[in-house]
Amino acid sequence: MLIDPIKTYTYKDYLSYDENERIEIIDGEIINMSSAPSRIHQEIITEILFKIRQYIQSNNGPCKVYTAPFDVILKNDDDELISSKNIVQPDISVICDKNKLTDKGCTGSPDMIVEVVSNFNPRNDYIRKLNLYEQFKVKEYWIVNPMRRNILVYILTEGGYDAPITYTFADKVKVNIYDNLEIDFNSIDI
């Protein structure tokens, strides 16, 4: 499908795309995604997902954790779903309000999102998605950069995201939506 640079795209347009085409829509603009992430990218996602899922299960928690491709439709409460101009596929989404879950994905803001930076388009994770997730009040946003071997953790406050807490791959990183979960990046074998 050809992209019209003047058009504002919505969830209705998103639904017309072939499911093999990997796109996101941010502020009405179509963003092409890379076809297949690297092995290291996948390894990091798998380890983080496993540790969060294991924590949820061992604590009988209400949250669910998903990996891409998993649609997250971000919209304001009074907006119609079909008119949403923000549809993303985060690497990892943690959703604690099961009312937000549908057969298609998540409608509304996840409690936590993790994005693993790729060489394809790091600007999306560091700028566009940071601003988008802050706007839609995602409580915790991690940017994991395997090239720099660091993790930036943004925690939502009343005024938005504070400056990030910076960790390295030698650190244990606190998952702030939980009281006592840390992910030891030193144990991730990449």
Pairwise pLDDT comparison (1 vs 169), residue with the higher score: 169
Question: Alpha carbon of 25 to those of 45, 71, 109, 160: distances in Å?
Answer: 22, 11, 15, 22
Going from the C-alpha of 4 to that of each of 30, 34, 35, 92, the distances in angstroms are 9, 20, 21, 29
Whether the CB-CB separation of 124 and 101 falls below 8 Å is answered with no
Q: Where are the beta strands (DSSP E) in 13-164?
A: 23-26, 29-32, 64-67, 71-73, 87-88, 92-95, 101-102, 105-107, 112-116, 140-145, 150-157, 160-161
Distance CA 140, CA 98 (A): 18
pLDDT score of 73? 97
* Domain ranges (residues) in the chain: 37-187
**Is 27 strand, coil or helix?**
coil
82 neighbors 112 (Cβ within 8 angstroms)? no
Domain 37-187 has CATH 3.30.360.10: no
| Residue 78 pLDDT > 70 | yes
Which segment of 10-14, 72-76, 186-190 scores lowest on mean pLDDT? Answer: 186-190
**What is the spatial distance between Cα 154 and Cα 141, in angstroms, rounded to a whole number?**
5
> Tell me, what DSSP letter sits at residue 180?
S
Is 1 a residue whose pLDDT tops 70?
no
Residue 154 has pLDDT above 60, yes or no: yes
Q: What is the pLDDT of residues 92-149, one digit of tens each?
A: 999 999 999 999 899 999 999 999 998 777 888 899 999 999 999 999 999 999 999 9
Each residue of 10-57: pLDDT tens digit? 999 999 987 778 889 999 999 888 767 788 989 999 999 999 999 999
